[in-house]
Chains A and B, each alone.
Chain A
Amino acid sequence: MAKKSPTTAGTKTRVKLSTRDKKTMAALTGLADGVVKAASAKRDPFVDIPSRTLSNVKYSPRKKIIEMGNNKNRRQLFDLSQAKAYMRTMLVASGCKRLLEQGKTTSLRGLYYMLKHTIEGAKENTFDEQGECDTIIEDTEVLLSSIREELHLYAENRGAMVGNITLIDRGDTIDCSRMGSGGYAIPSIVEPEIVELDRKKCKADFILHVEKGTVWQRFNEDRFWEQHNCILTHGAGQPPRGVRRMLNRMHNELKLPIYCVLDNDPWGYYIYSVIKQGSINLAFESQRMAIPEAKYLGLRSVDYTRCDLDDSVKIALNETDKKRAKQIAKYPWFEKKRPWQSEIKKMLSNDFKLEVESLISKDISYVTETYVPERLAAKDWLD
């Protein structure tokens, strides 16, 4: 940092800050002022970071989302185990300040490289792996109660979408029904400043979210979205924030119901849970991301018999799966739902899990032509 500061100070190419940026900047300055104040009073500088653990989230039955509690972790500079983390927090804050100042955004990895350097007079790097930087960034988000986008950071694009909708991305009009086989890659920042949605330009009736790109390919190839007039999305496994925010915005702004087609395993259940109530790690963003009305369409534990699947498609549950399933069953937002309890119990008694692709064993397009339409028609889903 020390070696870079003169250049940034020199180039005073200050961009005009938006009101949001001004708010973020104020938070950053407040953080720095706290250090100066503590130092001049000869006290230990510290920051209180809201804790991002299961113990500090609570499920709000009224809002039906996960909210962050009030527990905070104090991070002190003069504590042997926290000194480095404290230093990193300050580094990340200063990095974000620079991004804000110059009106640029960078990837998480970009920031990692921006801040990575050898500490003066020691054979130690500020960061050794990107993972170390990423957690500090999340800390900074909750600390400043500014989301990543406000800090001018973005993650790698992941997830795609296709369907009867036209949107504007950074001024470019994008017709999602003309995206070919690849679809529209959902950017990691989909805030209104970047992606504009218009109700009038959306003809779709609902959103179908599938777990993986491969399944999504199947649906896209069969032009499922055309036949059923919907928007088709996938999140490449656990959906990243961009996808979740996009789903949230489309659901709220365009009033589209969401149905999820996920694997029948604890992982699939959890993806559904994250889409519906928000994640534990990013509980502070649930408000902006969670979709309490999302529905779980499949696959279900009963599908093995219901769809008359072959024996060979079963995948045995391992110990972690079983443990995870029991954990999920105990989450407060699943605990009081009978259908979910019996669903999980059924999977455990089956002692196997099913992937969406297993339906291909029946017929290549069984999932698009039979399975999903039947479920939708029967309104057979879990809530």
Chain B
Amino acid sequence: MAKKKKRVKKKSANSSAAAPRKKKKKKKVAVDASPTPRKKKRKKKVRRVAESQSEAPSNGAQANGAPAKRKRRATAQTMAASQRDISVSEFFAKNRHLLGFDNPRKALLTTIKEAVDNSLDACEEAGILPEIWVHIEQTGGDRYKVGIQDNGPGILKKQIPLIFGKLLYGSKFHRLRQSRGQQGIGISAAGMYGVQTTGKPIKIISKVSVRKPAHYYELQIDTKRNQPKIMNGKGDGVDIPPGEKGSKYIEKHGIEWVEEKSGTRVTIELQAKYTRGRGSVDEYLEQTAIANPHVTLHYLDPDGGTRDYPSSTDKLPPEPKEILPHPYGVELGRLASMLEEAKGMTVSQFLTGSFSRVTPSVSRKICEKAKISTRANSTRLGRQDADALYHAIQDTKISNPSTDCICPIGEELILKGLHQVVPGEFYAAATRPPSVYRGNPFQIEVGLAYGGAAPAQNVSKDLLNELLDETDARTCRQFLVNTFNGMGTEAADKILKASKLGTRQSPSKLTPKQRAALLDSMKNVNISEGQSMNVLRLANRVPLQFQHGACAITQSVIGNNWRSYGLTQSRGSLPKGPVSIMVHIASVWVPFTSESKEAVASYPEIQKELRLGLQAVGRKLGMYLRRRLKVRQQTDRREVFLRYLKEVSTAVSEINGAKRDDLYEQLVKVAKKRTADADMVMDDRGRKLDQEMDLGDNVLIVDPAESEHHINRVAAVEGDEEE
């Protein structure tokens, strides 16, 4: 009891000037209190409460102080005193995990992701072929400086602080249009995280055109008010003049800026951790390159390594159209508020004007069902009417929204992108026709790459050492599974067994000899069987790297029966084999399961399209694998025959004196005729294969003999790293 009273008093004290003194006193009393004189003291306390409350502006304090209501912990009034606005920035500062800042590792990724996504959106909206520079630099033990620059249109001076220094400020939330960003939280949240963890301001430099000055800002975020605080140029930012003078200034102030006509560079210093492998920045950039074949990426990692992902096309994706919401996708509350906003319109005008696919005849039908006159004034409709209208909409047949607002990557570019980044010998892609969930149009695309060595087999000694040093995995097995894509536990066990390491051995404590053994077995153990399928999930061209299990895409992949396509798969798990599958969902509004945009929610319509897309590429893979199997069998057959032909011809010539070599030649000819299928592929792979195997469009077959480096990632990746 006593304690409770204390708390109440403390709270009220906050608002009164006399608080500090009294609080102190009371504390002392509470501490010194001995059990016997309890009653007296309680009385005293009560009086004090009353006193302090009488100082507060509320009345009715007297009643509170009455002995009968002693048991109340807090009153409406005292509680009201502490009830106040919560700023968005405060909320997200506390709940940073909602935005993907749960741990330093993820924070780094999220920061880069948000910045790159914004850059790409801006470039595409402005019709510029995006070129992006990503630079990560370690500034201290757990501090990293991240710089991301684009060649986009740049940002107007007065908008810069708002975009980067205010949460929930942006252009994308209120419109229905396919874009990477949706809410307008991302980059400002990243900046806030940086400011909070390191105290260093966010630095933004943006340039609109060659002749105009570049704007340079150093920002901090006032989390209480969700407002940007400009630190440089006496709160106004600095303009850097164009030309020689400007570049001198840039050099002098140590601002990183790759000279471009226009563009924006944001630099954030934050507490982070850089690792490679699964869920890393490297992986994100790689997948971004796959999903955005028109983008050129330059990446400078903290170890000084550079990697370039050149664009494989110079055609920008078509500009996505903005659409009006579809009536099916609108909730009652939203409908009511829309009605209120629509000033002085008739219901019919309102419906046709603010929704897509509502023609006057459709609106008439809706109104009939809702029993509302089509000419009723929309602002005068009450809640009940809105409710009736809502139900009428659900009951009326309205055609699906137009789907031309969605820009898929396209099968051709998926193939190109996959081929550029994922090694393999067979690629297939399928773009489903657009469909609709809850009134939102969406489109599913699936790409598949088969073959190629597992990433684990292409690790160099130095890279492995680095990876071993970086990892926070506790056991070697965990290290292998977490670091390398597509490595299942089976494969990891196989490797560890071969290298004679204990599964529970700590990866950071390996001796050089053990490391060498590990590397050796990683290269030599055949893990393509133990590999599980690598699933790349993308939403509006943005890679999703976390929460695999919760995502509708992963669930659909697991739910699909891959055994009929020639892969092995145990129930309830991903199929096995050297396969990568890329699934892209494009929509004006991708239904994520959370703000951090990590998993797609499973609407039945989406699940259906996913299934059909997966089946489309699966069928092609199945045909390819069966074909390959047949070829292999034929080759085996021929080998068997050829092996025995010499024996047969020798024996025959011994019996009847026939010429051994002539007979052999003749028999070989017959053997070749009998195993013609094997020949066909051996001689003229591409052409004849296509004739025989009608795989349809959008399939890419790489001749393993010709492009060794594609299948064995070694040369390609390592080469890039060394550059």
Contact = CB atoms under 8 A, between A and B. Distances in A.
Interface of A: 1-2, 5, 8-9, 28-29, 31-33, 35-36, 39-40, 42-45, 77-78, 80, 83-84, 86-87, 90-91, 93-94, 97-98, 119-122, 124, 126
Chain A to chain B: the 9 pairs with minimum beta-carbon distance, closest first: A32-B655, A32-B656, A94-B651, A90-B651, A39-B666, A87-B644, A94-B654, A32-B652, A78-B674
A40 B666 contact: yes
Contacts of A90: 647-648, 651-652, 655
B648 A5 contact: no
B701 interface: no
Contacts of B682: none
A35 B652 contact: yes
Contact of A35 (B637, B644, B648): B648
A1 B674 CA distance: 26
Contacts of B654: 1, 5, 8-9, 94, 97-98
Contact of B647 (A1, A28, A36): A1
A186 B688 CA distance: 67
B332 interface: no
Contacts of A126: 647
A121 B643 contact: yes
Contacts of B546: none
Given A43-B670, A80-B637, A33 B656 contact: yes
B673 interface: yes
B670 A44 contact: yes
A84 B637 CA distance: 12
A94 B654 CA distance: 6
Contact of A2 (B643, B644, B650): B650
Contacts of A78: 641, 670-671, 674
Nearest to B667: A39
B563 interface: no
B669 interface: yes
Interface string B650-692: 1111111010000100110111011000000000000000000
A97 B652 CA distance: 10
30 contacts: A1-B650, A2-B646, A2-B647, A9-B654, A29-B655, A32-B652, A32-B656, A33-B656, A35-B648, A35-B652, A36-B658, A36-B663, A39-B667, A42-B670, A45-B648, A80-B637, A80-B640, A83-B644, A87-B647, A87-B648, A90-B652, A90-B655, A91-B647, A91-B651, A94-B650, A94-B652, A119-B643, A119-B647, A120-B646, A124-B643
A32 B658 contact: yes
A36 B656 contact: yes
A328 B579 CA distance: 59
Interface of A is mostly: helix
Contacts of A32: 651-653, 655-656, 658
Given A36-B658, A83-B640, 9 more contacts: A29-B655, A32-B651, A32-B656, A33-B658, A36-B656, A39-B670, A90-B648, A90-B651, A97-B655
A31 B646 CA distance: 17
A5 B650 contact: yes
Interface of B is mostly: helix
B644 A29 contact: no
Nearest to A33: B656
A97 B653 CA distance: 11
A223 B58 CA distance: 139
A42 B640 contact: no
Contact of A119 (B644, B653, B671): B644
Contacts of A35: 648, 652, 663
Nearest to A84: B644
Nearest to A98: B654
A366 B652 CA distance: 60
B650 A36 contact: no
A93 B644 CA distance: 15
A118 to B, nearest CB: 11
Nearest to B674: A78
Contacts of A45: 648, 667, 670
B640 A31 contact: no
A323 B652 CA distance: 45
A296 B449 CA distance: 76
Contacts of A119: 643-644, 646-647
Given A83-B640, A122-B643, A29 B656 contact: yes
A266 B640 CA distance: 43
Nearest to A29: B656
Nearest to A91: B651
Nearest to B671: A78
B673 A42 contact: yes
A84 B639 CA distance: 12
B655 A93 contact: yes
A336 B678 CA distance: 58
B666 A93 contact: no
Interface in B607-653: 637, 640-641, 643-648, 650-653
Contacts of B644: 77, 83-84, 86-87, 119
Contacts of B643: 119, 121-122, 124
A86 B648 contact: yes
Contacts of B669: 42
A114 B453 CA distance: 47
Given A84-B644, A86-B644, A87-B647, A94 B655 contact: yes
A36 B648 contact: no
A39 B650 CA distance: 14
Contacts of B666: 39-40, 42
A91 B653 CA distance: 11
Contacts of B667: 39, 45, 77
B396 to A, nearest CB: 66
Contact of B651 (A9, A80, A93): A93
A84 B650 CA distance: 14
Contacts of A2: 646-647, 650
Nearest to B659: A36
Instruction: Please indicate which of the listed interface residues B640, B655, B663, B666 has the most CB atoms of chain A within 10 Å of its own CB.
Output: B655
Contacts of B647: 1-2, 87, 90-91, 119-120, 126
A77 B655 contact: no
Contacts of A122: 643
Nearest to B642: A121
Contacts of B655: 28-29, 31-32, 90, 93-94, 97
A91 B644 CA distance: 11
Contacts of A8: 654
A95 B645 CA distance: 17
A191 B108 CA distance: 96
Contacts of B653: 5, 32
A136 to B, nearest CB: 12
A44 B671 CA distance: 8
Contact of B663 (A39, A84, A87, A91): A39
Contacts of A5: 650, 653-654
Contacts of B637: 80
A45 B671 CA distance: 11
A32 B657 CA distance: 9
Contacts of B658: 32-33, 36
Contacts of B641: 77-78, 83
Contacts of A39: 663, 666-667, 670
Contacts of A124: 643
A220 B647 CA distance: 51
Instruction: Please indicate which of the listed interface residues B644, B650, B663 has the most CB atoms of chain A within 10 Å of its own CB.
Output: B644
B643 to A, nearest CB: 5
Contacts of A84: 640, 644
Contacts of A97: 654-655
Nearest to B669: A42
A98 B645 CA distance: 20
Nearest to B673: A42
A91 B651 CA distance: 6
B360 to A, nearest CB: 73
A39 B670 CA distance: 7
A35 B658 CA distance: 10
A280 B513 CA distance: 66
